[in-house]
Structures are given as structure tokens and as C-alpha cells.
């Protein structure tokens, strides 16, 4: 009993934490709970009416109609009636009570289905919103499979926990009502039944602990399985190219077999639980009935009809008690999922410092980095007092050794990460003060690896800017030199490109990403190695498009290609998160330093990065 109490207490505590995310609706919850509770009086009425029915069947019912009998008021409503009439009346009342019980249970089931549906929608939406606003470090520390399992496995377990809790309330209410009737009939039989239930709880306590431990282990394994599947299918090209199918299948089999072992053990525990409780319960109930006959019926302290009712009550109560024990095991398993969901819904949010409300409508003077420092949560210093300016309408290229902080600098500018100290200012206004919609509407970003969604070309280009006009889309396509690609697609702009754009080549995906940036007609362009995935012909085409796109726009380029660096107005050289050189190509090439060594070691038009 102590184990049941702790499971219920912890579950309720977590569900209270989740109530604003589930948003089930107090009236809907009240309706389900009320229907669950009402089924108990109907159940009790059906059982309680058996006693007078049996009395009239055995010809002993007149004693109940006497002035001191429990049904003394009934003759006033039905005068001069024979025993057969009352027998039939109570039979009818028993049928009506069963009908009433089933009606409220039907309502409970349908309201419960609506409750679960609404809760599932709200919970998944809350998780989606919470994770969309989580810091990048969350996605860097957790596999995609682990995150997806929260939506597919843990939310199901959470909703099952709610469902089982409501079912537990219903069964518990029935046990209380029927148990109260046993107590009313015979306190000694009620005491014996309580001792029997306590004995069953003692026997099954170890099994429930095992089910609780397996609940956590099973959830971990399913998250691991999701990660293996996503990696295996997402990297299918690498898997096949390296002939690693057997290795990937081996990882899958290992996790799958572990899940199988856990589920077999859980099935074993459940298979032991039911026969153990049923056998113990029936044996105990029969022992109670034998004792009742011997010590209450024989001395005529209890009527035979009451013994029959007690027998029926005990046989009805035992399955309910077994169901309560079964629910406890299920609640223990699903509790692990509730914990997991509750923890994810409390994950840190980004940004900690809210964005401002200013509108970004132009860059008139400059974009300036002032003492920008960034330190990762593990303590690694990535940027150390970065200071330089990008004049309005100019292009600044950032180069440096691997790990020098180039991509981190771009992430801070894009506002994917918040600087530890320092600021980035647009015409003197800190870039954090611009509202998110305005800042990202005027920002065009093309990263090294173009991410393409399993959507049409059109929807990929208009991502985040659904109101883009047809003319803006066509202009963006033309600037990205994507015309020939779209002309060759079966449905043009409405062609679905497959997951991660598998129907497009790497260069085509990169050009699509450039079109996505240009459709916004951005004031600020951030090109993080934007042409690195293109072949020489495509690179020249796209570079020409980017040169055109950069005209009149403030641009920051994370550069690897000499052509990009040469065309920049200013080059900034980073080393271990610090600015060590800046100037034009000619100025830096003449001066001794890291940039000159990078250019001297250049191969095939790419800057060869020094080892930091």
C-alpha cells in the first residue's frame, strides 16, 4: 500500500506541473471524474438490490415490509401486492441500475477519449514550442532520436498515465462503495477482507518495484532505438558507400534485443501478477465465506441471503482490487514517461534576455562588433573581445584557422547564441534590441550545409516568409542561378524535393538556400562558406549572383575561397577567438602574418587553414 501511495503522490505532483501544458479543461475533467464516481453508486445499487430480491424469492421478504423493516415505506406506494410483484420490481430495478452504470461509463469513455485527444494535441504543441525555443546546446547534446521519442513515446506514456489515473479513481471509488456495504453488513467480514487485500499488496509489492524499474529502462532504450534509426536512415548514403550495413544493423539488433528482454521480463512480471492476485484473492475470499458461515450463519447471527450477498460482493471486489494493483504497475511504468516530459517542458529557454521591440528598416552607417566575447557552457572560450566594423553596403570576409571562432561569430550575429559580453550594433543600436520578426525578416543567411526540407521548392524558398510574392520568388531564383534546375523539375517550383533535398545535387541545394536568403531582399547577408559545396562551374555562377546580391547590402562572409576573399572590401583574420589582422587583400598580403601564410598555402582556390 505504501508503494501505491508513493506512485500516486509522485504522479499527481508531476501532472500538476504539466497541467498548464495539457490544458485539459476543468469542466471536461470534472465530467470524466463525475461519471467515474457515479458508476460506483449504480454498481452498489445493483448489488444492494440483490438482498431484497433474494429475500422475496425465498419467501422472507415480508419482514422487510414490516413497520420496523428496511422497506417499510414501500407498501404505501404499492399496496396489496404479492411477493412475486416485489421480486419482479427489484429485478427491474437491478436492470435499471446496470443500465445507469453502463450509461455513465459510456459517457466517461467518450469524455475520456476527448480528454486524451485534447491533452495529446496540447502536450505535443507545448513540447514543440518549448524545444523550438531551447538553446542550441540542447540539440548539440541530445540525438535527434532522443528528441523525437519524447513526442512519440513519452507523450503516449504521459497520456496513458492520465487515463490510468482516471481509471484508478473509478475502481477505487467502486471499492470504497462496495467495501462500505460489506462493512455495513458485517464489520468482521470487512476486517477480514482488509487483511486479505493487505496480504495481496505485500505479495505483489516486489513485482511492482520491478515494473517501475523497467519503465525507466524501457524508455531509455526506445530513445536509443530512435537515435539508431534516424542515424542509419539519415546517413544511408554513407552507410552504403562504406558497406557498413551490417554494422548499423548490428547496433539496431543490439538495442532491439535489449528492448525485447525488458519487455519479456515485464510480460513475465505481469503474467505472474494476475494469477498470483487472483489465486490468493479467491482462496482468501472462500476462506472468509467459510468462516462467515461457520461463525455467523450457523449461530444465526447472519441470514443466508446476506451470506450470498457478501459472497457476491467479495467476488466483485477482488477483480477491482486486482485492477487497482494492475493500474499501479502501469502507473509505475508510465510515471517514467511523465517525468521525462515534465523535465523537457522545463528545459532552459532562449534567449534568457528577451529581444527588444525595435524595427530594423535600414543599415545606414555600419554594423559594428564591440568587444564580443562568447564562452560555451563547458567553459571553452570561443570569442575573446572581437572588435571590428562592417560599413553599410560593404563586404567583410572573416578568415582564420579551424577553431578560430569564425562560425561562432556568425552564430552570435544571427542571434543563435547570446554573447557572454560585448555587443553587436547596427547604426549604434544593439542588435538584441530589434524584435525577432524584424531582425530575421531583414537577415539573409546561407550556411555551409544547406538544409532542405521535405517540401516543394517554393515552400523551401519561402520558409519564414510565406507572404513572398511570385515576382520576389522569381527574382530570388534568378539571383541564385536556379532557373535551369527548376525548369528541369517535373512540377517546377511545386516539385517536392525529398527529405533533406535528396532529389537535388549538393550544388543545387546550396543554390536553393541562396534563393531562400535572397527572397527576403535582406539588408544584411551572412554567408557562412556559402559556395563551399559547389563545383567550379556552379561556384562561378553563384559567385556572380552573390556579387550582384551583395551590391548595396552589408555582407559578412565566412570565407574559404580566394575568390570570395579577393572581392571583399575588408578581410578580418581570427586566431583563437581574437582579431589578429584586418585590412584589404593587398595590405594583408604585404604584411607578415597568418593571412599571408594562408594565401601562400592555398590549393585549388581554397584557403588552407592553419592548425590552431
List pLDDT tens digits, range 581-604. 999 988 888 888 888 887 777 655
At the topology level of CATH, where does 2-344 sit?
ABC transporter transmembrane region fold (1.20.1560)
Q: What is the pLDDT of residues 397-414, one digit of tens each?
A: 998 877 888 889 999 999
Task: Answer yes or no: is pLDDT of 232 > 60.
Answer: yes
SS3 category, 556: strand
pLDDT above 90 covers what percent of the chain? 13
This prediction's pTM: 0.73
- CATH class of the structural domain 353-442+559-612: alpha beta
Closest residue by Cα to residue 194 from 178, 179, 174 = 179
**If DSSP states are collapsed to H, E and C, what string results for 557-574?**
EECCEHHHHHCCCEEEEE
Please tell me what DSSP assigns to residue 607: P
Site of grid cell 482516471: 166
Q: How far is CA 536 from CA 159, 380, 540, 562, 566, in A?
A: 54, 37, 6, 13, 17
Cell of 591: 604584411
Please, which residues have CB within 8 angstroms of residue 31's CB and are 6 or more apart in sequence?
107, 111
Mean pLDDT for the chain overall: 81
DSSP run (H or E) holding 290: helix 245-292
| pLDDT class of 109 with cuts at 50, 70, 90 | confident
Max distance between CA atoms of the chain, in angstroms, equals: 123
| pLDDT class of 357 with cuts at 50, 70, 90 | very high
Q: What is the pLDDT of residues 244-274, one digit of tens each?
A: 777 778 877 887 888 777 777 766 666 666 6
**Residue-level pLDDT at 579:** 92
| pLDDT class of 372 with cuts at 50, 70, 90 | very high
CB 430 within 8 A of CB 424: yes
Residue-range domain boundaries for the chain: 2-344, 353-442+559-612
Amino acid at each position: 500500500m505504501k508503494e501505491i501511495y508513493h506512485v500516486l503522490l509522485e504522479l499527481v505532483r508531476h501532472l500538476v506541473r504539466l497541467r498548464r501544458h495539457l490544458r485539459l479543461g476543468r469542466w471536461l475533467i470534472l465530467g470524466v471524474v463525475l461519471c467515474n464516481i457515479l458508476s460506483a453508486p449504480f454498481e452498489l445499487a445493483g448489488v444492494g438490490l440483490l438482498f431484497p430480491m433474494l429475500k422475496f424469492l425465498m419467501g422472507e421478504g415480508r419482514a422487510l415490509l414490516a413497520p420496523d423493516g428496511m422497506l417499510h415505506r414501500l407498501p404505501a406506494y404499492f399496496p396489496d401486492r404479492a411477493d412475486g410483484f416485489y421480486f419482479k420490481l427489484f429485478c427491474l430495478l437491478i436492470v435499471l441500475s446496470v443500465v445507469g452504470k453502463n450509461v455513465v461509463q459510456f459517457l466517461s469513455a467518450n469524455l475520456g477519449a476527448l480528454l486524451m485527444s485534447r491533452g495529446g494535441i496540447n502536450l505535443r504543441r507545448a513540447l514543440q514550442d518549448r524545444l523550438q525555443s531551447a538553446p542550441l546546446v540542447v540539440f548539440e547534446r541530445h540525438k535527434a532520436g532522443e528528441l523525437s521519442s519524447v513526442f512519440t513515446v513519452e507523450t503516449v506514456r504521459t497520456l496513458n498515465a492520465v487515463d490510468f489515473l482516471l481509471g484508478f479513481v473509478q475502481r477505487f471509488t467502486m471499492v470504497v462503495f462496495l467495501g462500505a456495504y460489506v462493512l455495513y453488513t458485517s464489520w468482521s467480514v470487512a476486517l477480514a477482507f482488509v487483511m486479505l487485500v493487505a496480504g495481496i499488496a505485500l505479495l505483489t509489492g516486489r513485482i511492482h518495484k520491478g515494473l517501475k524499474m523497467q519503465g525507466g529502462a524501457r524508455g531509455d532504450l526506445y530513445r536509443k532505438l530512435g537515435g539508431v534509426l534516424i542515424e542509419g536512415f539519415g546517413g544511408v548514403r554513407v552507410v552504403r558507400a562504406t558497406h557498413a550495413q551490417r554494422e548499423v544493423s548490428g547496433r539496431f539488433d543490439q538495442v532491439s534485443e535489449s528492448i525485447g528482454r525488458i519487455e519479456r521480463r515485464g510480460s513475465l512480471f505481469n503474467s505472474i501478477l494476475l494469477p498470483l492476485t487472483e489465486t490468493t484473492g479467491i482462496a482468501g475470499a472462500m476462506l472468509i465465506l467459510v468462516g462467515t458461515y461457520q461463525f455467523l450463519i450457523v449461530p444465526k447471527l447472519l441470514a443466508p441471503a446476506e451470506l450470498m450477498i457478501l459472497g457476491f460482493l467479495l467476488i466483485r471486489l477482488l477483480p477491482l482490487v486486482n485492477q487497482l494493483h494492475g493500474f499501479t504497475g502501469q502507473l509505475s511504468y508510465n510515471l517514467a514517461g511523465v517525468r521525462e516530459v515534465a523535465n523537457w517542458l522545463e528545459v532552459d529557454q532562449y534567449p534568457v534576455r528577451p529581444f527588444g521591440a525595435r524595427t530594423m528598416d535600414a543599415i545606414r552607417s555600419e554594423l559594428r562588433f564591440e568587444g564580443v566575447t562568447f564562452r560555451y557552457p563547458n567553459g571553452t572560450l570561443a570569442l575573446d573581445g572581437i572588435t571590428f566594423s562592417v560599413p553599410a553596403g560593404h563586404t567583410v570576409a572573416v578568415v582564420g584557422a579551424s577553431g578560430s571562432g569564425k562560425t561562432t561569430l556568425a552564430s552570435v550575429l544571427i542571434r543563435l547564441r547570446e554573447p557572454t559580453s560585448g555587443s553587436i550594433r547596427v547604426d549604434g543600436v544593439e542588435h538584441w534590441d530589434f524584435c525577432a520578426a524584424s531582425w530575421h525578416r531583414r537577415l539573409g543567411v546561407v550556411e555551409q550545409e544547406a538544409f532542405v526540407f521535405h517540401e516543394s521548392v517554393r515552400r523551401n524558398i519561402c520558409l519564414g516568409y510565406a507572404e513572398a510574392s511570385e515576382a520576389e520568388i522569381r527574382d530570388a531564383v534568378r539571383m541564385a542561378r536556379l532557373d535551369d534546375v527548376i525548369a528541369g523539375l517535373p512540377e517546377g517550383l511545386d516539385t517536392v524535393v525529398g527529405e533533406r533535398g535528396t532529389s537535388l545535387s549538393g550544388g543545387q541545394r546550396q543554390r536553393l538556400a541562396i534563393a531562400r536568403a535572397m527572397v527576403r531582399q535582406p539588408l544584411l547577408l551572412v554567408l557562412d562558406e556559402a559556395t563551399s559545396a559547389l563545383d567550379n562551374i556552379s561556384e562561378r555562377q553563384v559567385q556572380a549572383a552573390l556579387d550582384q546580391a551583395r551590391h548595396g547590402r552589408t555582407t559578412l562572409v565566412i570565407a574559404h575561397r580566394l575568390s570570395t576573399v579577393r572581392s571583399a572590401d575588408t578581410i578580418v583574420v581570427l586566431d583563437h577567438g581574437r582579431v589578429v589582422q584586418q585590412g584589404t587583400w593587398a595590405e594583408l598580403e604585404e604584411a607578415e602574418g597568418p593571412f599571408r601564410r594562408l594565401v601562400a598555402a592555398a590549393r585549388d582556390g581554397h584557403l588552407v587553414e592553419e592548425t590552431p
